[in-house]
Amino acid sequence: MKKSKLMTLNKAIFQYVNDGDSIVMGSGLESMIPFAAAYELVRQQKKNLNLIAPISDILFDILIGAGLVLKITAAWSGNVSAGLGHNYRRSLEKGIPHRVQVEDHSNFTLGLALLAGSMGIPFLPTKTLLGTDLLRSNPRFKVEKSPFGDERFVYVPSLNPDVAILGVQRADEDGGCHFWGNLGLSQDAALASKKVILLAEEIVSKETISSDPNRVLLPSFKVTAVVHCPAFSHPSPMQGYYKRDHDFFHEYHQVTKQEAGFQDWLHKWVLTPSSHEDYIRLLGERVEQLRVKQRITAPEINYAFQ
């Protein structure tokens, strides 16, 4: 019998995330962002992290302000509904709490880098960066002539992160999982990464996962740990379960304009709660108010072939 991969969030972060790791968080773009894992990284004071994602809303900003980040490999960092993150700006403009390194990407090239990593190849070519300033800001991009003609391409080097922390709607104890909605770069991130930590809204049976193979995000053998973590994505939305908490994002933007305001916010929402469960209790009725009430289901399908 296989050993269950189910464990607490605290244990998964402690055991499988090391100082200096490169971590994908927020591969689903603006939805299913694993904020619960980010808060646990702060509580455990992981250091010198390289954060990788196309868009992780305020998650990057929080971790930068908390002093955990050495580098970001991203297309954008900030607060989607309000603008740039104040901690990100303070870091680059004033070195507070320290200056983070930035490896610039477009959303597309970050996807190419993770796709190349998932395929086990050193790079993938594109024309989309030709004529852009990204070739100046990211020296890792190389412009080369095609070996099959005179066309020039930008070679995007592959990424193989140490850890991908991904959110899913449901998973079994062995790492089988279902994801629906906007996949973003989640599948490529999972396949490219050395370790995968799944945060799941629900834990279900293996039979439930195998009943619908088209919603399976990645093979279970790629999964390192499974965490049952309801509402892990708050304040970002989760398809079929929670709406986006717009007010939370706007409140964060206002209160973090000054560094002291961010420290107060961090103490209230991250450091005072000792666990994700405490954070949910602190939110109170807010979680239920965000819960999706409407049901829009896909028509039934038949997988039988005999």
**pLDDT digits 0-9 by tens, 62-72:** 999 999 999 99
pLDDT band for 167, please (50, 70, 90 cuts): very high
Class of domain 9-105+162-290: alpha beta
Question: What confidence tens digit (pLDDT) does each residue in 172-220 have?
Answer: 999 999 999 999 999 999 999 999 999 999 999 999 999 999 999 999 9
Number of Cβ within 10 Å of residue 11's Cβ equals 12
pLDDT band for 1, please (50, 70, 90 cuts): low
Give pLDDT, residue 178: 97
Percent of the chain whose pLDDT exceeds 90 = 88
* Beta strand extents in the chain (DSSP E only): 22-25, 49-53, 69-74, 78-79, 83-84, 101-104, 123-126, 142-145, 152-157, 163-171, 177-178, 195-203, 225-228
Question: What confidence tens digit (pLDDT) does each residue in 53-63 have?
Answer: 988 899 999 99
Give pLDDT, residue 263: 98
Question: What confidence tens digit (pLDDT) does each residue in 257-283 have?
Answer: 999 999 999 999 999 999 999 999 999
Give pLDDT, residue 270: 98
Residue 37 has pLDDT above 70, yes or no: yes
Alpha-carbon dihedral sign for residues 13, 18, 20, 26: negative
Mean pLDDT of 89-117: 96
Phi and psi of 212, rounded to 5°? -140, 80
Give pLDDT, residue 41: 98
Question: What confidence tens digit (pLDDT) does each residue in 211-258 have?
Answer: 999 999 999 999 999 999 999 999 999 999 999 999 999 999 999 999
> What is the CA angle 21-22-28, rounded to 5?
135
Q: Where are the domains of the chain?
A: 9-105+162-290, 123-157
Give pLDDT, residue 47: 97
- pTM, full prediction: 0.95
Percent of the chain whose pLDDT exceeds 70 = 100
